[in-house]
Amino acid sequence: MCCIALLAAGIGPRIALFFWWIFGDKPDAAIDNWIWGVLGFLFLPWTTFMFILAWSPVVGIDGFWDYLLVGLGIALDIATYATKPAQRMRSAAYQ
């Protein structure tokens, strides 16, 4: 069960970003350069997803709630990357 949750946390935002880039225009408007989009897609998918979600065409990222969403994305990326070493340590301890 834990492996399924880890897999969903790692792949879920990437799938959402992929379809949003294909069928929507907001990711192209929110991210200036395609290199930042690809790097965000590969290494920080939750932060990229939350950035695009919080971004607005007129002001960009502005206000407490926008920064809170981006901060939540950063926290989710850290949590996703931190669970992998924890799983390895736990499985090594039970062997």
pTM: 0.81
pLDDT tens for each residue of the chain, 95 residues long: 567 776 777 788 999 999 999 999 999 999 989 999 999 999 999 999 999 999 999 998 999 999 999 999 999 999 888 877 766 766 666 66
Would you give the DSSP letter of residue 20?
Answer: H
User: Residue 87's pLDDT is what?
Assistant: 67
Residue 35: burial class (beta carbons within 10 Å; 0-12, 13-18, 19+): exposed
Using CA atoms, how far residue 80 sits from 4, 17, 23, 37, in Å, is 13, 17, 26, 19
Structure tokens that stand for 58 in this block: 């007129």
Place of tokens 């880890």: 6
